[in-house]
Amino acid sequence: MRRHRTTARGIALSLLLAGVAAAALASPSSGGPQAVPRLVFPLVADTALWDNYGDPRGTHSHAGIDMENPWRAPVVAVEAGRVEYAESSLGGCMLYLYGRSGTMYMYIHLNNDLVAKFDNKGGCRKDVTFAVPDGARVAAGQQVAWNGDSGDAAGNPHLHFEVHPGGGADVNPFPYLKRGLRPLFAARPGSAFSLGLGGTLVATGPGSVSLEVDRVRRYPGGSWLSVPSRPVDLAFGPEAEVPAGLLDDVATANGRGYKAAVPVTAFTLKAKTTRDAILGAPGVLQLGRLTPAR
């Protein structure tokens, strides 16, 4: 694990040469660093996002974007690449992602707490801070860490995120984050999962339903998270369980132009994690059970 005792911008500058070298290793062999690709958004949870890049920070300007997010919200890889642990007095527990495009990304203020009282007793280690081993190669959308308040963010859980094209100087991450693909959940590719989806049932079709989802839970082991409201289309799985009349209620409501949709909780069938599943692509998730919300 790298250890640094400087500001976030100072960290980046001190690693400039190392970052360029690592990015060269991560880049395609056919040429130099490519443009920053369309990213997977780095957090799974409802996120306060605004452009604070370049804001004054004492003797320096802000080198990334701060995003307020719940404690231990899943942090994911924005593109496929290799991760490396790091640590500093101000940045706390940190992670570098060397993307296949040649871009280097910095994740700062990751979790170091064992309980939600911000005890700082966990250290910067796997299963407390990091979800993958140091040096692991990861897929886009794969969980790599947990959000926290380490370093000088004590008591204020948030993710400081930086983008360094070609492993060089930082650029404003905000445009890339605004157009980022939002993950519905976080999991290791190929691992088994099922989801609980909370929201409203807004439409029905032949063999499918459409939900407006604002809460997600991953099984096994996950907890309910509030997520930015988004449409999710579910294909009916074999023998999907749906209460009698529920779909008729939605069809009638939509047909008569009612503004209110029907609050529901949906549970998907067990499946293997893929990038399309993580992103909630239409028709990829199969409905196993649908119940009215209580």
pLDDT band at 250 (very low <50, low <70, confident <90, very high): low
Here the tokens at position 188 are 């290791």
pLDDT at 115 > cutoff 70 = yes
pLDDT-based confidence at 29, cuts 50/70/90? Answer: very low
CATH fold for the domain made of 2-178: Glucose Permease (Domain IIA) (2.70.70)
List the chain domain ranges: 2-178, 192-292
Determine the average pLDDT of the residues in 276-282. 94
Q: What angle do CA 142, 146, 149 make, to 5 degrees?
A: 150
Residue with tokens 């990751």: 110
Which pLDDT score is estimated for 22?
41
Structure tokens at 220: 């096994």
Q: pLDDT tens, 196-225?
A: 999 999 888 888 899 999 999 999 988 899
End-to-end CA distance of the chain: 47
pLDDT at position 54, please? 64
**pTM given for the model:** 0.82
Between CA 13 and CA 204 the distance in angstroms is 53
Instruction: Label residue 51 by pLDDT band (50, 70, 90).
Output: confident
Residue 235 to residue 258: CA distance in whole angstroms:
24
Longest dimension (CA), the chain: 64
pLDDT in tens, 228-245: 999 999 999 998 898 877
Both tokens assigned to 214: 């604002």
Q: What pLDDT shows up at residue 12? A: 45
Are the C-beta atoms of residues 185 and 281 closer than 8 Å to each other?
A: no
**Under DSSP, is residue 25 helix (H, G, I), strand (E, B) or coil?**
helix
Identify the band that residue 32 occupies on the pLDDT scale cut at 50, 70 and 90: very low
- In this prediction, residue 20 carries a pLDDT of 40
Peptide bond into 220 cis (omega under 30): yes
